[in-house]
Amino acid sequence: MADGPPLARTTLDRAAHRRADAEWLAAAWERARILVVDIAGGGRALAGPDTDQPTLLLLAASDVPEDALGRLFLGVEPDGTPVFAVDAPLPVLPDTRAVSLRDVGHLLSDSDAGLFTTAVALGNWHARHAYSSTTGLPTEVIEAGWSRVDDGGNHVWPRTDPAMIVLVHDGKPGPEGLCLLGNNAAWRPRDGVRRFSCLAGYVEPGESAEAAVHREVTEEVGIGLDHLAYAGSQAWPFPGSLMLGFLARADPAQPVRVDPTEIAQARWFSRREITDVLAGARVDADAELRVGLPPPSSIALYLIHRWLDEA
């Protein structure tokens, strides 16, 4: 298992003190490496052809598409190279392929994972804030992509929505230890697989992350928790969440009562079953569907591996 959630990795110095330095930014652009991200096209970027260890393609300033939007300053790499992102349809280049952060985030290097995650998060924020929520006036990009302002001088800054995600388990070691996973009501089976994942929800105004965990678990599956521990966080910029991960203990003797508007099905799985699913074995969700687990770039699968490794 990785030391932390897959999209929490980075080598980037964000160099926030440079964001308002127009002279430095102009010079930095000319020597920068630039990531093109197609926000309207699902936040995709170009990578090399290797599917096992993809490497993002970063361009020189002279190669950036003419219709690119913005110059979003991401930061400076350890070798001193400035890195920017722009939003544009992806150019057609030989020996490259379009990739999404969801699909390859866990396979990228620490450097590329940090760049891609930041670029998608920042690009999605800009796409949703063309107008001021205070005045309704159009906004324009300032501070190298880290703020927007309208004609009245009203500023807005990038924000993320805090959300909790929790793996509920019974605290018992060994292959028969149990964890509780749910199938979201919005997830439809695909290719004969019903996906199960950790329970999750947004932190509400005036609420702590820990209180949100207790509330969401009670609302979604009707059980109480007797222990809660923070496990890590990562951005999930689809379009702009910060996932706060927890491990929680509960008594599996409690009846599971799902809220059908949120959860279609929830049940306890043993470590043996989860290990089998990860190994590609068939574990039935019901008479016809197999169990699937969260994608590798998610913090949900990271939490499942944390629980497996703590046996």
CA distance 144 to 83: 11
Residues 138-151, mean pLDDT to the nearest whole number: 97
Q: E strands within the chain?
A: 33-37, 45-47, 69-76, 82-87, 97-99, 139-142, 147-150, 155-156, 161-169, 178-184, 193-195, 199-202, 227-236, 241-249, 263-270, 290-292
Tokens of 261: 């508007």
Q: CA 1 → CA 4, 113, 159, 303, 305, distances in Å? A: 8, 17, 30, 10, 7
Distances (CA, A) of 165 to 162, 210, 262, 285, 311: 10, 10, 14, 22, 20
pLDDT of residue 3: 82
Residues 257-310 pLDDT 10s: 999 999 999 999 999 999 999 999 999 988 889 999 999 999 999 999 999 998
Task: Report whether pLDDT(1) > 70.
Answer: no
Is the pLDDT score of 22 beyond 60?
yes
In angstroms, the CA 149 to CA 33 distance is 27
> If you search the block for the tokens 């793996």, which residue do you land on?
167
Express each pLDDT in 154-175 by its tens digit. Answer: 999 999 999 999 999 999 999 9
pLDDT range class, residue 2, cuts 50, 70, 90 = low
Query: What is the rounded CA–CA span in Å between residue 266 and residue 307?
Result: 18
How high is the pLDDT of residue 116? Answer: 98
- Whether 245 and 280 have beta carbons less than 8 Å apart is answered as no
- pLDDT of 5 strictly over 70: yes
Q: How confident is the model at residue 145 (pLDDT cuts 50, 70, 90)?
A: very high
Reduced to 3 states, what is the DSSP secondary structure of residue 302?
helix
Alpha helices in 11-161 (DSSP H): 22-31, 101-104, 110-127
Average pLDDT over the chain, rounded to whole? 96
- For residue 258 the two structure tokens come to 């799902």
Q: For 83-123, what is each residue's pLDDT tens digit?
A: 999 999 999 999 999 999 999 999 999 999 999 999 999 99
Q: Is residue 230 over pLDDT 70?
A: yes
Question: Tell me, what DSSP letter sits at residue 139?
Answer: E
Is the pLDDT at 184 greater than 80, yes or no? Answer: yes
pLDDT at res. 66 = 86
Q: What number of other Cβ atoms are within 10 A of residue 198's Cβ?
A: 28
The tokens of 132 are what?
């001021």
d(C-alpha 83, C-alpha 77), whole Å: 7
Q: What is the pLDDT of residue 258?
A: 98
- pLDDT score recorded for residue 177: 97
2 compared with 33, residue with greater pLDDT: 33
**pLDDT tens sequence across 40-59:** 999 999 999 999 999 999 99
Q: Are 47 and 57 in contact (CB under 8 A)?
A: yes
